[in-house]
Amino acid sequence: MANNFVNKFKNNISAEETLPTEIYYHASKKAICIELDAANKSSAGVTVGVAVEDTGSLGSAITLNGSGEGITSAANGTFTKSSHGLNVNDRVVFTIAANAAIASGSSDTNLNSSRYYFIQSAATNTFTIAESRNATTPIKFSGSGTITNVKVVALADVVRGAPIPVGGSLKVISGQKLVLESTDRIWAYCSSARNVDVVCSMLEDVS
Domain boundary among 133, 152, 171: 152
pLDDT in tens, 42-65: 999 999 999 999 987 767 788 775
Range of the domain at 136: 59-152
User: Which of 47, 114, 117, 128 shows the shortest CA–CA distance to 84?
Assistant: 128
119 and 180 co-located in one domain: no
For residue 1, name the pLDDT band (cuts at 50, 70, 90): low
Q: What is the mean pLDDT of residues 75-85?
A: 79
Rounded Cα–Cα distance for residues 166 and 46 (Å): 8
CB atoms near residue 125 (< 10 Å): 13
Does 66 share its domain with 50?
no
- Contact (CB, 8 A) for 17 and 193: no
What DSSP state is assigned to residue 36?
Answer: E
Structural domain ending residue among the three candidates 112, 133, 152: 152
The CATH number of the domain where 94 resides is what?
2.40.30
- The closest alpha carbon to 181, from 52, 15, 49, 3, belongs to 52
In a 10 Å sphere around its CB, with 0-12 CB exposed, 13-18 middle and 19+ buried, how is residue 131 labelled? buried
- Measured CA to CA, the distance from residue 110 to residue 84 in angstroms comes to 23
Whether 139 and 97 map to the same domain: the answer is yes
Share of residues in the chain with pLDDT > 70 (%): 93
Q: What pLDDT score was predicted for residue 75?
A: 56
Q: Write the CA distances from 14 to 30, 56, 193, integer angstroms.
A: 26, 24, 6
Q: How confident is the model at residue 67 (pLDDT cuts 50, 70, 90)?
A: very low
Least confident of 33-42, 67-76, 158-167, 188-197: 67-76
Q: Is 129 in contact with 5 (CB distance < 8 Å)? A: no
Strand partners, 203: 5, 32
φ, ψ for residue 153, nearest 5 deg = -100, 130
* pTM > 0.95: no
